[in-house]
Structure 1
Amino acid sequence: MKMRIAMLLAAVAMPASAFAQAAAPAQTTAATVLEDFKPSSLNQPGQEFPQVNSQGYARFRIVAPDAKAVKVSLGLGGRGGTVLTKAADGSWVGTSEGPLDEGFHYYHLTIDGGTFNDPGALNFYGSTRWESGVEIPAHDADFYALKNVPHGNVAQVLFPSPSTGTQRRAFVYTPPGYDRNQRERYPVLYLQHGWGEDETAWANQGRANLIMDNLIAAGATRPFIIVMTYGMTNDVKPGAPGGLASFDIKPFQTVLLNELIPYIDGNFRTLTDQKHRAMAGLSMGGFETKLIAPKNLDKFGYIGLFSGGTVSVDDVNNTPGYRDKVKLTFVSFGSRELEGGRTGPPGGPKVDPRANAAGLKAAGINSVFYVSPDTAHEFQTWRRSLKEFAPLLFRD
């Protein structure tokens, strides 16, 4: 099982840097960069930098008068980078070499060889550490915008985990109106983060609660609970991708099935049958979903893989009960992940998830395949995936 999970995770995680694409393929020359820069929406209060413009460029300014070299590394793991230039006032300034994909991006600073976060930006847990974040305005940002609509709550819960000998943490989204009608019960989606992230990712970087609030307000989805917990239970050393080889799904499966689900059902007003419970995740969380949900179809009726692998007809045929018990198989990717039509680890076997989804449909399986336009292995892909996935759930 350890080798299997390592191979599966490698298919999308690759190095940790693959989690976020730093720049779109098309580059724009410096002469055409528009000077309509504004502070990023993810800046610390009162901070002017980093800034973003209408073309998707990001501009940085770091005050480090005694530094010899400053670079901004965009994307988990610091793939790529923007070298800053020292100004007369001792600050370091620079603009990304090209426009970035719409949506959220991690980044950090390298100052004279040391790794630091930008004091002007908010921090988000990714790449097994807290990283700075910058938000490139998206043309479709309305679906995750903070609006004047009824809002649900995201609450931290601590639940006992005898299998790990700890108290573990989860965040639970309850929809608007949950506290008012004490007799109503709700379906539950267990939603997992990616490699190097934690249980804060979906509400912070992913804006899952705002996506749900807006969908519910528009009447586009049935209200349901979302549970987000940490998907790593092993002492996997952060950093090098080789740490994936020591990851074992079994301890997390025990936490999820034997500890977290009973806690949620015992402390929240849930509908506890299989047809009212779903599991989904991004990247590593998608692979966790693929390894756990099909083998526990008495507990999960809906399966969602966001940049986290694919489901084939062979997978269905090799899983007893899949045809009868799974109400929906949802698979999604960013369009940049599917350039050439196939995806998979570097140097490894490639698969065509679109063909797999079509094969499921032809076999009579309720299969939905979604591609996020002009995005890669990054949160804008997964925000859009949740927006597409949620209205398909619990349609009874």
Structure 2
Amino acid sequence: MKQYSIVLALSLTLISSLMTAQTASSKIIEDFKPSVLNQPGKEFPQVNSQGYARFRIEAPAADSIIVSLGLGGKKGGTKLSKGADGVWTGTTAGPMDEGFHYYHVNVDGGTFNDPGALNFYGSVRWESGIEIPAHDQDFYALKSVAHGNVQQILFPSKSTNTSRRAFVYTPPGYEKEQSKRYPVLYLQHGWGEDETAWSNQGHANLIMDNLIAEEKIKPFIIVMTYGMTNEIKFGGLKNFDITPFQTVMVDELIPYVDANFRTVAKQSYRAMAGLSMGGMETRMITLKKTDVFSHYALLSGGLYNPEDIKDKSKVKLIFLSCGSKENPDGVKKSATALKNAGFNAVSYVSEGTAHEFQTWRRSLKELAPLLFKE
């Protein structure tokens, strides 16, 4: 296969060939700006106020280029058109959901990342990322407020015969208030991602900083570690064994965190949450380890039934969420059934989003004020 030198850029002029994919009833507003997730100094790709994304790729020798956003109106993504100068251009056929999206570029069957965009670990590889500005993005914006700290830790794991990595968010003031102890939320990523996801794609630290600054939550620590999920191929969840990760989480990571951070090392001050497959892990572990966690949260990650939980007295909160394009009825019905059975259960549906990070950012914003209220 030929090797192509690929440089991605965004066309600043209106190109008539880009309009062919648009519906007759839709008109693109030409107010495109570089994505906030572009590499420093790179103008491409760009997004507009309607949520369209536009791409420009210099690859004179290529025969076919497709951007894998999946919104091109045809199966396989957004097909780009080649100009006489060897530059490929294209715009998504419709607006994308607000928030963060992974993507990559297929050039004659080969998979490449966009050199104009920052990379994020997802789909079991480093993917390019693009951000569609959201109407409610203020809650995860970088503001002039006191900021917490996200640090990498390496903790010993006898069960896996290695040191493992986690990222720990400590709230503003943690370093100064040496006598204060904090509850802990163990927050899990989804399939194809790793322990960097909640900080990089999810902006969990900024969400926390802003909520704390607004005095909407009591400060707590967040711990994010790899869920040992990516060895399972997509669609093969029936083969996933929770036991190895449960051992790492309960017997190795939690004791390490309690020994090295100022935590309140009690079940009533410990929560577990996860998105997608991380939610599945959360469900499995919390049902087995009721003496370890008291607050449970599944973000697009399944449901609890009242009969699943044997000791109601040990559960302080059950939080269930998803996007409105996922399973909102199921989430609401499950929460209602749990409430009727006497549980403190809360449901949340992110309007206009699907199985994506804007759903989970919003979910964390709704979840955080409910945690550790007593």
Q: TM-score of the superposition, structure 1-length normalised? A: 0.86
Tell me which of 39, 46, 69 is aligned to 1:44: 39
Report the equivalent of 1:32. 27
Report the equivalent of 2:234. 241
1:303 pairs with 2:301: no
Alpha-carbon shift at residue 88 of structure 1 (Å): 3.2
Report the equivalent of 1:54. 49
Report the equivalent of 2:3. none
Structure 2: how far apart are the matches of 1:216 and 1:138? Answer: 21
Letter in 2 for 1:246: N
Structure 2: how far apart are the matches of 1:207 and 1:134? Answer: 14
Alpha-carbon shift at residue 131 of structure 1 (Å): 0.4
Report the equivalent of 1:372. 350
Matches within 5 A, 1:82-93: 82-93=78-89
- Are 1:72 and 1:83, in contact at CA under 8 Å, matched by a contact in 2? yes
Q: From the superposition, tell whether residues 221 and 79 of structure 1 become closer, same or farther in structure 2 (CA, over 3 Å).
A: farther
Matches within 5 A, 1:256-271: 256-271=249-264
Matches within 5 A, 1:139-288: 139-232=135-228, 236=231, 240-288=233-281
- Structure 2 unmatched runs, 5+: 1-21
Report the equivalent of 1:22. none
Structure 1: how far apart are the matches of 2:143 and 2:75? Answer: 34
Report the equivalent of 1:391. 369
Structure 1: how far apart are the matches of 2:110 and 2:289? Answer: 46
Structure 2: how far apart are the matches of 1:135 and 1:280? Answer: 24
Report the equivalent of 1:345. none
1:360 pairs with 2:338: yes
Which moved further from structure 2: 284-293 or 63-72? 63-72
- Are 2:66 and 2:76, in contact at CA under 8 Å, matched by a contact in 1? no
Alpha-carbon shift at residue 165 of structure 1 (Å): 0.7
Report the equivalent of 1:338. 327
Structure 2: how far apart are the matches of 1:389 and 1:202? Answer: 14
Greater helix share, structure number: 1
- For CA contacts below 8 A with separation 6 or more, give which structure has more relative contact order: 1
Runs of 4 or more above 4 Å deviation: 27-31
Alpha-carbon shift at residue 295 of structure 1 (Å): 1.6
SS of equivalent to 1:286: helix
Tell me which of 107, 113, 120 is aligned to 1:117: 113
Letter in 1 for 2:60: P
Structure 1: how far apart are the matches of 2:327 and 2:26? Answer: 32
- Are 1:236 and 1:246, in contact at CA under 8 Å, matched by a contact in 2? no
- Are 1:279 and 1:303, in contact at CA under 8 Å, matched by a contact in 2? yes
SS of equivalent to 1:289: helix
Report the equivalent of 1:21. none
Report the equivalent of 2:100. 104
Letter in 1 for 2:257: I
SS of equivalent to 1:254: helix
- Are 1:62 and 1:118, in contact at CA under 8 Å, matched by a contact in 2? no
SS of equivalent to 2:308: helix
- Are 1:28 and 1:99, in contact at CA under 8 Å, matched by a contact in 2? no
SS of equivalent to 2:325: helix
Q: From the superposition, tell whether residues 304 and 29 of structure 1 become closer, same or farther in structure 2 (CA, over 3 Å).
A: farther
Structure 2: how far apart are the matches of 1:217 and 1:255? Answer: 33
Structure 1: how far apart are the matches of 2:256 and 2:134? Answer: 38
Report the equivalent of 1:74. 69
- Are 1:51 and 1:59, in contact at CA under 8 Å, matched by a contact in 2? yes
Letter in 2 for 1:390: A
Alpha-carbon shift at residue 246 of structure 1 (Å): 3.4
- Are 1:194 and 1:284, in contact at CA under 8 Å, matched by a contact in 2? yes
Structure 2: how far apart are the matches of 1:79 and 1:328? Answer: 41
Letter in 1 for 2:89: V
Structure 2: how far apart are the matches of 1:103 and 1:303? Answer: 25
- Are 2:287 and 2:308, in contact at CA under 8 Å, matched by a contact in 1? no
Letter in 1 for 2:92: S
Structure 1: how far apart are the matches of 2:278 and 2:66? Answer: 31
Q: TM-score of the superposition, structure 2-length normalised? A: 0.91
- Are 1:170 and 1:228, in contact at CA under 8 Å, matched by a contact in 2? yes
- Are 1:102 and 1:375, in contact at CA under 8 Å, matched by a contact in 2? yes
- Are 1:73 and 1:79, in contact at CA under 8 Å, matched by a contact in 2? no
- Are 2:35 and 2:132, in contact at CA under 8 Å, matched by a contact in 1? yes
Alpha-carbon shift at residue 62 of structure 1 (Å): 1.4
Structure 2: how far apart are the matches of 1:209 and 1:104? Answer: 16
Alpha-carbon shift at residue 209 of structure 1 (Å): 0.2
Report the equivalent of 2:126. 130
Alpha-carbon shift at residue 311 of structure 1 (Å): 1.1
Deviation per residue, 1:4-56 (Å, 9 max, x gap):
xxxxxxxxxxxxxxxxxxxxxxx854850100000000000011111000000
SS of equivalent to 2:163: strand
SS of equivalent to 1:160: strand
- Are 1:279 and 1:302, in contact at CA under 8 Å, matched by a contact in 2? yes
How many residues in Structure 1 have an aligned counterpart in Structure 2? 351
SS of equivalent to 1:308: coil
- Are 2:147 and 2:171, in contact at CA under 8 Å, matched by a contact in 1? yes
Structure 2: how far apart are the matches of 1:127 and 1:336? Answer: 20
Which structure has the greater CA radius of gyration? Answer: 2
